[in-house]
Structure 1
Amino acid sequence: MRILLTNDDGIDEVGLRTLYERLSPIADVTAVAPADDQSAVGRQLSTDVALTEHELGYAVEGTPADCVIAGLGALDIDPDLVVSGCNHGANLGAYVLGRSGTVSAAVEAAFFDVPAIAASVYFPVGGIDFKNVSPDPVHFEEAARAVRYLIEHASNVGVFETADYLNVNAPLPPEEGTAPMEITRPSHVYEMDAEHDGNGTVTIHDRIWELMASGSVPDPEGSDRRAVLEGRVSVSPLTAPHTTTEHEALSGLAEAY
């Protein structure tokens, strides 16, 4: 199997290297990843990007979407699968999917008809400040184990016949044993708000992190955030946007127009 490995944290980050080392025994892995941090850029594209050879593959002066397009369109890799991650921080909830560089790389692969897996790790806001912690390979081991398991088994049972990509979010490894896996759907609970200070500055808050820190997320059973908060590996099988549906009322408006 040939795997194109990318991320949005940068090619030298621990999460990507952990996946590279974990997947190399079962696949020919080539990293095509951003040269530096490109977190939360979504599917932003560039026109021209510089490409540099790297010990793991290629470093790209661009976004995760740039990396996937370069890897699939310009480099002689021809992968069977694209893996994006392992992200330092969770990508949970429906409203996060479009802004995440990690997930956007998987979406970009889907438009090339190449199955993909996006992988992220939830660092508990109540215990570890993931923005300031120096990540260690052990932090990503649960996610890497889940990704390898899915790579070894998902194609054999036809998972990618109906799912374009899998969004995997793992908790930190438990003190004993391993985390169970749950098939989930992205939560639709939305807790964004903003405050104006009266002096020209608006501060935007994502209140869901405060709720996760307190352990009181309003997400229903079966949702990705609920699973991860309760210590399970969340796997959401998703399709690339955008889905269209028959809409009788809208069809009537078009006819009247």
Structure 2
Amino acid sequence: MVGTEPSILLTNDDGIESVGFRALYDALSEVGDVTAVAPMADQSAVGRAISHEVTVHEYDLGYAIEGTPADCVVAGIESLVPDADLVVAGCNEGANLGSYVLGRSGTVSAAVEATFFDVPAIAVSMYIPVREDTAFSDVETDPGSYAEAQRVTSYLADNALQSGVFERCDYLNVNAPVAEWGPAPMAVTEPSTVYEMGAEKEGDLITLHDRIWERMADGDIPDPEGTDRRAVVDGKVSVSPLTAPHTCQHHDSLDALAEAYDPA
């Protein structure tokens, strides 16, 4: 790796034709050998859903997969790009902020999947200031809006592997503001633990919504300094160093329950 271009497997969850995906492909091609292995269609919010088999199509940027982001990573590392030094997922159209979002996001889940192969990964998303009543599918993003996401992803892909960053974490969750906000400094953060999901019942219909989008659009958020959401609202690029395996803490209370359990 030292002195050579990294082999980069690029995937996402918005689909291989998305504007943000092409923006990262173009930017990363300046720092490494990039191969696309991405879903053919939108796979947003599918988490780490996995398939038994998937169909692969050759594509001008690499490969398009009829499957999920996790499918793309497994198929990519095990079959299509076995020499990958780095997996990058994104750029997602919309932020992936807060600890409760991480498991839902196909973008973040692709990065998590890579870490089980011991391949470092970066998940990249761009915050779009919209309110709850505006669907992301209705938002048309300009390629230029991804300039900050391109800049920080290229920087990390070019420097993080040799810096020792991935000796202390498994993957980076990166969230950049839109470029129209101006130059964005980088802030090392941790995922916010503020939970803003709500549900409203009207007749037989229950609508689930995340109240944080309205609060972010107004700049009125409860998240403290040092969190990912606070950094992005303040116009910074949030970079959270994260580990993938679920943690387990041994404690006396559960030991006592186990000892008292009668299987008879």
Q: TM-score range by the shorter chain?
A: over 0.9
Corresponding position of 1:14 = 19
2:166 aligned with 1:160: yes
Structure 1 unaligned blocks of 5 or more: none
Corresponding position of 1:183 = 188
Q: Secondary structure at the match of 2:221?
A: coil
1:143-190 residue CA offsets vs partner (Å, 9 max, x unmatched)? 1110111112212221101110000000011454x2100000000100
Instruction: Tell me, yes or no, if the aligned pair for 2:38 and 2:69 is still in contact at 8 Å.
Output: yes
Corresponding position of 1:138 = 144
Q: Secondary structure at the match of 2:80?
A: coil
Question: What TM-score do you get using the length of structure 1 for normalisation?
Answer: 0.95
Instruction: Please give the alpha-carbon distance, in whole angstroms, between the structure 1 residues aligned to 2:141 and 2:211.
Output: 24
Corresponding position of 1:39 = 44
Instruction: Tell me, yes or no, if the aligned pair for 1:2 and 1:77 is still in contact at 8 Å.
Output: no
Q: Secondary structure at the match of 2:118?
A: coil
Corresponding position of 2:255 = 251
Question: What TM-score do you get using the length of structure 2 for normalisation?
Answer: 0.92
Percent of residue pairs bearing the same amino acid type:
64
Instruction: Tell me, yes or no, if the aligned pair for 1:7 and 1:84 is still in contact at 8 Å.
Output: yes
Instruction: Tell me, yes or no, if the aligned pair for 2:145 and 2:180 is still in contact at 8 Å.
Output: no
2:244 aligned with 1:240: yes
1:32-56 residue CA offsets vs partner (Å, 9 max, x unmatched)? 0000100111111111111000000
Deviation at residue 255 of structure 1 after TM alignment: 2.8
1:219-246 residue CA offsets vs partner (Å, 9 max, x unmatched)? 0110100000110000000000311122
Q: Secondary structure at the match of 1:138?
A: helix
Corresponding position of 1:99 = 104
Task: Give the residue type in structure 1 aligned to 2:164.
Answer: G
Q: Secondary structure at the match of 1:187?
A: coil
Corresponding position of 1:215 = 219
Instruction: Tell me, yes or no, if the aligned pair for 1:4 and 1:77 is still in contact at 8 Å.
Output: no
Instruction: Please give the alpha-carbon distance, in whole angstroms, between the structure 1 residues aligned to 2:81 and 2:113.
Output: 18
Instruction: Please give the alpha-carbon distance, in whole angstroms, between the structure 1 residues aligned to 2:138 and 2:205.
Output: 25
Q: Secondary structure at the match of 1:108?
A: helix
2:230 aligned with 1:226: yes
Instruction: Tell me, yes or no, if the aligned pair for 1:8 and 1:63 is still in contact at 8 Å.
Output: yes
